[in-house]
Amino acid sequence: MTFKLPDLPYAKDALSPHMSERTLSFHHGKHHKGYVDKLNDAVKGTDYDGMTLIDVARRAHENGDTGVFNNAAQAWNHGFFWRCMSPDRVAEPTGLLATRVSETFGSLAQLRTRFIADGMARFGSGWVWLVEREGGALDVVSTANADLPQTAGLKPLLTCDLWEHAYYLDYQNARQAFLEAFFDHLADWNFAETCLETQGGYPCECGSGRESLHDAGEPAAPDTIAWGARAKTN
Q: What whole-number distance in Å separates Cα of residue 202 and Cα of residue 82? A: 13
Q: What whole-number distance in Å separates Cα of residue 112 and Cα of residue 91? A: 12
SS3 of residue 67 by DSSP: helix
CATH topology of domain 17-213+221-234: minor pseudopilin epsh fold (3.55.40)
pTM for the full model? 0.87
Find the mean pLDDT for residues 158-173: 97
What are the φ/ψ torsions at residue 9 (nearest 5 degrees)?
A: -85, 15
Q: What whole-number distance in Å separates Cα of residue 70 and Cα of residue 12? A: 25
Share of the chain above pLDDT 70, in %: 85
Q: What is the pLDDT of residue 205?
A: 54
Residue 221 has pLDDT above 60, yes or no: no
Cβ partners under 8 Å of residue 110, min gap 6: none
Q: What digits encode the pLDDT tens for the residues 74-133? A: 999 999 999 999 999 999 999 999 999 999 999 999 999 999 999 999 999 999 999 999
Q: What is the pLDDT of residue 233?
A: 30
Distances (CA, A) of 224 to 111, 186, 198, 199: 28, 27, 9, 7
- Torsion sign over Cα 159, 93, 133, 113: positive
Eight-class DSSP state of 232: P
Residue 157 has pLDDT above 70, yes or no: yes
Residue 142 has pLDDT above 50, yes or no: yes
Other CB atoms within a 10 A radius of the CB of residue 106 amount to 11
Find the mean pLDDT for residues 66-74: 96
Q: Which is nearest to 14 in space by CA: 4, 1, 23?
A: 23
Q: What is the pLDDT of residue 27?
A: 97
The answer to whether residues 21 and 227 touch, using CB atoms and an 8 Å cutoff, is no
Q: Where are the domains of the chain?
A: 17-213+221-234
Q: What digits encode the pLDDT tens for the residues 25-64? A: 999 999 999 999 999 999 999 999 989 999 999 999 999 9
Q: Name the β-bridge partners of 143.
A: 127
- E strand or H helix at 128, and its extent? strand 126-132
- Could you tell me the end-to-end alpha-carbon distance of the chain, in angstroms, rounded to an integer? 37
